[in-house]
Amino acid sequence: MLQMESSPFLQSHFASKAHTYEPNCDPSNLSQETLHHLFRVKRLRVGDLVSITDGDGRVALARVEGPLSSESRGKRGSSTSYLVRSGEEYRIISDLPKVEVALAVIDSDKVDLVVTKLTELGVSSILLFMAERSNTTHRLGEGRLRLDRLQKIAIEALSQSRGCFLPEISFVEIDFLFDNDFSFLTFDGKEFDPTARKYVVGPEGGFALSEIPLDVKRCSFAGNVLRSETAAIVASSLALFYV
pLDDT tens sequence across 69-112? 554 444 444 444 478 888 778 898 888 999 999 999 999 999 99
Residues 32 and 116 in one domain: no
Question: Where among 64, 94, 124 does a domain terminate?
Answer: 94
Q: Examine the pLDDT at 8 and tell me if it is beyond 60.
A: no
CB 37 within 8 A of CB 50: no
The pLDDT tens digits of the residues spanning 124-153 come to 999 999 999 997 777 899 999 999 999 999
Domain hosting 158: range is 100-240
If one counts the domains in the chain, the total is: 2
pTM assigned to the model:
0.87
Residues 128 and 230 in one domain: yes
CATH (domain of 73): 2.40.240.20
Question: Where among 32, 65, 94 does a domain terminate?
Answer: 94
